[in-house]
Amino acid sequence: MKIACLGTGTFGLNHLRVVREDFPDLQVVAIYDPHEPNRDAALKLAPGAKACRTQEEMIASEADGVFISTPGFMHLDHASACLMAGKHVLLEKPVMTTREGCRRMLELANKHPDRVILVNHELRYADYFRKIKELIDSGAVGEPQLVWCKSFRPPFLKKVGNWIQDSRQSGGVMVDMNSHHFDLMNWWVGSRAKRVAGFGGNDVVHVVNNEHEVLDHASVSFEYENGVRGGLLLSMFAPPTGEDLEMGVIGSGGMIQTKMSRWEIHQWKCGAEKAEPVVHHVPPARDTRGTPIGFVEAHDEFLKCVREGRQPLTNVQACVGGSLLAIAAEEAIKTGKVIEV
Q: What are the residues facing 264 on neighbouring strands?
A: 259, 281
pLDDT (0 to 100) of residue 243: 67
* More confident position, 244 or 116: 116
pLDDT (0 to 100) of residue 51: 97
CATH architecture of residue range(s) 123-293+314-340: 2-Layer Sandwich (3.30)
Backbone angles phi, psi at 97, to 5 degrees: -105, 0
Q: Average the pLDDT over each of 136-145, 150-159, 215-224 and give the range with the smallest value.
A: 150-159
Tell me the pTM. Answer: 0.96
What does the pLDDT average to over 91-120? 98
CATH 3.40.50.720 fits 2-120, yes or no: yes
Decide if 303 contacts 22 (C-beta within 8 A). Answer: no
Decide if 121 contacts 322 (C-beta within 8 A). Answer: yes
Q: Report residue 202's pLDDT band, with 50, 70 and 90 as the boundaries.
A: very high
Average pLDDT, the chain: 96
DSSP state of 165: G
- Percent of the chain beyond pLDDT 70? 100
Examine the pLDDT at 60 and tell me if it is beyond 80.
Answer: yes
DSSP state of 309: T
pLDDT (0 to 100) of residue 286: 78
pLDDT (0 to 100) of residue 273: 79
pLDDT (0 to 100) of residue 287: 74
- Strands 217-224 and 229-235, bridge-based pairing: antiparallel
pLDDT (0 to 100) of residue 241: 79
So where are the chain's domains?
Answer: 2-120, 123-293+314-340
Examine the pLDDT at 29 and tell me if it is beyond 70.
Answer: yes
pLDDT (0 to 100) of residue 272: 82
Residue range 253-306, pLDDT digits in tens: 999 999 999 999 999 999 887 789 999 999 998 777 778 999 999 999 999 999
